[in-house]
Amino acid sequence: MTFIFKRIAVVAMMISILVPNAVLVEARVHGPQSLKCEDFGYDIRVANAEHERGSYDVGVLQSGYSISVNGNADTVNWNSSKSVDGVISKAATYWNEESAGTSGTVSKSDIGPGKHAISHIIFCAHSEIEIDPIEGCTDAEATNYNTEAEVDDSSCVYPEPTPDPLYGCTDVDATNYNARADTEDSSCTYPEVEVEPISGCTDSEATNYTVEAEVDDNSCVYPETTVDPVYGCTDTEAANYDVGAEVDNGSCVYPEPTPDPVYGCTDVDATNYTVEAEVDDNSCTYPEVTVDPIEGCTDTEATNYDVGAEVDDSSCIYPEVEEETAPVSTTSSGGGSGTRTVRCELGVTDNSITAGALTTLTWDTTRADEVALYANGVMVFESEENDDADRSMTVAPTADTKYELVATRGSRERTCVVEVEVAEAFAAAGAVEQPLVAGIALSAVPHTGAGDAVLTIGFYALLGLWSLFLAYLVVARKTSKEIVASIFTPNYVMRRMA
């Protein structure tokens, strides 16, 4: 069989010599990615042509051949200095044997279907053709080792032996520079040099950020950025309301609704006390309690009158009753005579009483512009109106008291005086002495008395301040009958006589 194939190959070679451009065999093969000349009946691969980056890279493997390949991925023209026996082209997985000779054309359409370009072309020959062996350096240790060389041509070149490196500082600027050293060992030392820092933008977020910059020179430039809104709960009624949120993200959480409070009676002493009640609704009812009435003297004229008594127990004590005498009246001179003379009359129903007993002052003035009443030097009444009228005041002094009525008209003045002698009254059991304030017993003053020491002290303080205020008004001559009347009516038992 080998003999037959050789004969066939000889015949084919002769045909190719006689007809250079004749097609020897046309066979499309769809098979392995890599085929050899031997697969097509040839013994020797003369050259390879491989398509790379738009051109063909030709590698000649047999000496005595010079092959050029030109064209593109679809059509290739080739030329050989010596005739070849076979040309096999490849596109994708398709191979095709093309025409042989010294030149020819390979077309993609002759190889196979598809859009793949021509990637490889191999040039083959039969062994009967005398082919010079490939000469070259066959020593793999040489720098010019040729893997295709078949015969060593003594052209091998070997690298110079590498001496051991000399380590040291190779920086000429270093203080320990070693001129003989050929390998740096990081031992260099340098003199201390003051180097000005590199200025520039040190913010990596800036568009002009400088990696080498050591000191920021405020030159940073930033791209215009769109700030994302702050998301969160924007409902102020929610438990997780975020005051800094700009856009609601549906995360709001709301507290559980507070149930309505349970109303009812919360007093455990009430008959309808409700244990479950949280808020008292004033509905409490209590069992009827029988309270004994307070017994005592209920007669206000008695010296031991008990303002808190509810039932009279016949314990009232009364001051000794003296025969009523005519009103005592005293006038003083200095008012002048004539129709313009100021006159005054001051009287008292009883000028000798026991402590706390009531007596009434009465007075009358004529042609007076101003009228003032004093008790032991303390003003208790004043009026700036024309006072041609009778007046009266009930008092209950607890000590000897001098009452002075001063009537004034311009530079004219008239003073009327009465004195009331007060005897110490017998103190009944449980009775409390009523002190005198400006000639007025505390029993006649509302909201004060022996039953409430705090209110009594408050009354003293307010009355003292008010007396100072009235004295100031007298000096300034700006008081009025209405102001004084508002002070003493009705709490001070001032009465106007018709």
pLDDT at residue 234 in the model = 94
As a whole number of angstroms, the distance between CA 379 and CA 400 comes to 16
Q: What is the pLDDT of residues 218-234, one digit of tens each?
A: 999 998 877 889 999 99
pTM (two decimals):
0.25
Using 50, 70 and 90 to split pLDDT, how confident is the model at 56? confident
Contacts made by residues 63-70, CB under 8 angstroms, sequence distance 24+: 63/131, 63/132, 63/133, 63/134, 63/135, 64/131, 64/132, 65/123, 67/123, 69/121
Q: What is the pLDDT of residues 315-351, one digit of tens each?
A: 888 776 444 343 444 444 344 444 457 888 999 999 9
Region 343-496: CATH code = 2.60.40.10
For the cut 70, the answer to whether the pLDDT of residue 485 exceeds it is no
For the cut 90, the answer to whether the pLDDT of residue 50 exceeds it is no
Q: What is the pLDDT of residues 362-390, one digit of tens each?
A: 988 888 888 888 999 999 888 866 555 57
pLDDT at residue 174 in the model = 92
Using 50, 70 and 90 to split pLDDT, how confident is the model at 433? very low
For the cut 50, the answer to whether the pLDDT of residue 273 exceeds it is yes
Using 50, 70 and 90 to split pLDDT, how confident is the model at 95? confident
DSSP string, 406-461: EEEETTEEEEEEEEEEEEPPP--TT-----EETTEEGGGSTT-STT-HHHHHHHHH
Mean of all residue pLDDT scores within the chain: 78
Using 50, 70 and 90 to split pLDDT, how confident is the model at 255? confident
For the cut 50, the answer to whether the pLDDT of residue 75 exceeds it is yes
Q: What is the pLDDT of residues 4-38, one digit of tens each?
A: 444 444 444 444 444 333 333 333 444 445 678 88
| Domain boundaries, given as residue ranges, for the chain | 2-125, 343-496
As a whole number of angstroms, the distance between CA 367 and CA 284 comes to 66
For the cut 50, the answer to whether the pLDDT of residue 87 exceeds it is yes
